[in-house]
Amino acid sequence: MSAITLKGPPVSGAPRAMPTPKQNKISVTCPKCGNVQQEPRGAYSTVCKQCRSHFRLEDVTTEATTKGKSGPRKAPEKPAIELRPVICFQCGTELQVPAAAESTMCKRCSSHVDLRDYSIAQTVSKNFRTHGRFVLEEKGYIMNTDSMVGDAVIKGRFIGKIMAVRTLEIHSSAIIKGSISTGKLIIPAGHHFRWPELNIGGADIGGELVSTLHSTGTVTLRATARFFGDIESASLVIESGAVFVGQARIGVKPSEAVLTSQKSIPSTAPVKSARAASSRRPSERPRTA
């Protein structure tokens, strides 16, 4: 007898074979150790099974695609940050800080370095340490101070000691009693100032100044400048129209190249006229460039 095979539905309760689901995975390479492993295609990130480092699948797949097409992918360029040099007040270490920063910390001594600007319009008795701009308004009054600032503008009453590392601008309304020091003295046009002796880095005179000036840098007399006194500096620039009454010794740095005023003498009243200043030296005549 021949065998007969019956076709029909499977017996109830018997296990039914299921098709094997298709594995939707991709091969990824660890960017740290180079290990290749299988990960689901829709995964966002994973951990390497060999070195246990975490990485994003998008980064390694994009890098592999880009590298296969046009070679290694270049890292995106970061925008350049404008930096400026400052000096730590405590240890003197030079620091590079962003131009928009308001403070920083010294990498050597861990001290705080202030970079903020200050504007004083009231009575204050305080020491300032900042690399920012320091402005003393006409109604401002600072007393008993020993301050070091980046740039200073003095319009009011000041009693104490101030060192402006970059520039010191003095207006006619300023009343100064103490000592001043700066890398560059500025007298704006239309203003006048009198001081017995100044030891500074440089000067830009647009107004009227009566003093004996010792400079380690360049002294510039603008067209509106009126200077009465002696000048000793490395170089001197006199614009056409400037008035200079006194003696000049140019090309030789001062014997004592210091940036601090040697005398702490109160500022006298503003110069009233050129005739009063020139009367002290009758043998000298004004020279106009």
pLDDT of 213 strictly over 70:
yes
* Residue, of 199 and 73, whose pLDDT is higher: 199
**To the nearest 10°, the Cα dihedral for 188, 191, 192, 197?**
-20
In this structure, are residues 127 and 146 in contact, taking their beta carbons and an 8 Å threshold? yes
Higher-pLDDT residue of 6 and 95 is: 95
Query: Do the bridges between strand 103-105 and strand 112-114 make them parallel or antiparallel, or are there none, so unpaired?
Result: antiparallel
Half-sphere exposure of 175 (CA within 13 A, CB side): 9
Per-residue tokens: 241? 């129209």
Which of these ranges, 225-234, 244-253, 257-266, has the smallest mean pLDDT?
Answer: 257-266
Task: Report the candidate in 235, 232, 221 with the shortest Cα–Cα distance to residue 287.
Answer: 221
Residue length, the chain?
A: 289
Q: How many CB atoms lie within 10 A of CB 162?
A: 23
Q: How far is the C-alpha of 39 from the C-alpha of 27, rounded, in Å? A: 6
pLDDT band at 33 (very low <50, low <70, confident <90, very high): confident
Q: What is the pLDDT of residue 12?
A: 55
User: CA 22 to CA 42: how far, in whole Å?
Assistant: 14
Is the pLDDT confidence value at 263 over 50? no
Mean pLDDT across the chain: 80
**What burial class does residue 197 get, using C-beta atoms within 10 Å of its C-beta: 0-12 exposed, 13-18 middle, 19+ buried?**
middle
Longest Cα–Cα distance of the chain, Å, equals 153
Pairing of strands 157-170, 141-154: parallel
How confident is the model over 254-283, as a mean pLDDT? 41
- How many degrees, rounded to 5, is the angle at CA 226 between CA 225 and CA 228? 140
With cut-offs at 50, 70 and 90, classify the pLDDT of residue 220. Answer: very high
Query: Which residues, in sequence order, are bridge partners of residue 25?
Result: 40
Residue 218 makes CB contacts below 8 A (sequence gap 6+) with 202, 203, 233, 234, 235, 236, 237
Span between the terminal Cα atoms of the chain, in Å: 138
* Average of per-residue pLDDT across 46-62: 79
- As a whole number, mean pLDDT of residues 170-181 equals 95
pLDDT band at residue 258 using 50, 70 and 90 as cut-offs: very low
Instruction: Report strand pairing: 25-29 vs 141-154.
Output: unpaired
Domain ranges (residues) in the chain: 81-115, 117-288
Least confident residue range of 37-51, 89-103, 149-163, 273-287: 273-287
